[in-house]
Amino acid sequence: MLKKRIINSLLILSLAFLIIFLFPNWLFALLASSFIGLGLYEFFRMVEKKGVFVYKYFGIAIGMAVPIVVYLERGSTGYVDIDPFFIVIGCLLAFILQFIRRDNSQALGSIAVTMFGLLYISWFFSFFVKLKFLPGGERLVAYLIVVTKSSDVGAFFFGRSFGRHALIPRISPSKTVEGTAGGLASSVFASLACKSFLPHFPYSHLIVLGAMLGVLGQFGDLAESLLKRDCGVKDSGRDISGFGGILDIIDSLIFTTPIFYFYVLVLLK
């Protein structure tokens, strides 16, 4: 399983870096849309196992459209941020679907879960596209992925080698304090090692970013573990050997991406 995980990690990273640096932005937006669609499908499938009715295919369609809308508005002249408005329209349509359904049972749960999926997976992950359109966007995206995933890798190997004290066993019994500390150290080291990606960032910012992304990445992993624990599933899906599902791959990036985007935006100004 470990060998498969390493091989698949290298393949995914290679594909991601090819698209980031060599392919046009529309293909990058399409890749983000695909990840969002698969992640939402897994999320809604998990919720359905709890017996909650969700507007699955509606949510997937709206969610996949968000990064495309971001790409179109960023590619136009004099763009404005209309993706929050798109989320509002999604909420309105969810209520309309509930009116048509004519069944008031689980109305609140169905609408709430559908909208939570759009915010948690689609809108947050779509900040990747916004980040790509910033000056030096290719390097920013590559840096974000490397540092966040370094936290995942460090936590995994340090936890396997030195883990003795469970972090939050009721949420994720396999995560340890030692693994968390190793993941944080790995993300700070990776941030400093990726200085060439952010040549204008002083080392003090790289240390802060490494620590921040390391914490947020592991928080994102714990957040997904909490959802899986509540839904009674071990993995979000079984699409990729060694990982589980797409949501298991992108969970650590869900919180790091929008916060890193705003950090860079403020710094650039």
Per-residue model confidence as pLDDT tens digits over 96-115: 998 988 788 888 889 999 99
User: Do residues 25 and 71 make contact, with C-beta atoms less than 8 angstroms apart?
Assistant: yes
Parse the chain into domains and list their residue ranges.
Answer: 2-268
Instruction: Note the helical H segments in the chain.
Output: 2-22, 25-48, 56-75, 83-101, 107-117, 124-125, 127-132, 137-162, 177-193, 203-231, 246-250, 253-268
Let me know if 51 is exposed, middle or buried by CB neighbors in 10 A (0-12, 13-18, 19+).
exposed
Using a pLDDT cut of 90, give the percent of the chain over it.
Answer: 54
Of the two residues 185 and 90, the one the predictor is more confident about is 185
Whole-number pLDDT of residue 13: 78
Report the range of poorest mean pLDDT among 94-103, 117-126, 200-209. 94-103
pLDDT tens figures, 137-167: 999 999 999 999 999 888 888 888 887 888 8
Burial label, 134 (beta-carbon count in 10 A; 0-12, 13-18, 19+): middle
DSSP 269: -
Cα 238 from Cα 12, distance rounded (Å): 16
Name which of 157, 142, 262 is nearest 191 in CA terms: 142
The residue-averaged pLDDT of 186-206 equals 94
**From the CB of residue 177, how many other CB atoms can be counted at a distance below 10 Å?**
15
CA angle (141, 62, 125) in 5-degree steps: 20
pLDDT value at residue 239: 58
Instruction: Look at 93 and 80; give whichever has higher pLDDT.
Output: 93
Tokens (6 digits) for 209:
């970013």
Reference 38, options 252, 251, 260, 257; nearest CA is 251
- pLDDT score of 39 more than 60: yes
Higher confidence at residue 73 or residue 206?
206
Highest mean pLDDT among 78-82, 157-161, 255-259: 255-259
Q: What confidence score (pLDDT) does residue 51 get? A: 87
Q: What is the pLDDT of residue 256?
A: 96
Q: Nearest 5 degrees, angle CA 195-CA 197-CA 199?
A: 60
Q: Which of 60-69, 126-135, 212-221, 230-239 has the lowest mean pLDDT?
A: 230-239
pLDDT for 79: 60
Q: Which of 3, 12, 1, 4 is nearest to 149 (CA)?
A: 12
Quick: pLDDT tens for 217-254: 999 999 999 999 888 887 666 655 556 688 988 999 99
> What's the burial of 229, exposed, middle or buried (CB within 10 Å: 0-12/13-18/19+)?
middle
Q: Are 62 and 88 in contact (CB under 8 A)?
A: no
Query: Percentage of the chain with pLDDT > 70?
Result: 91
Question: CB atoms < 10 A from the CB of 199, how many?
Answer: 8
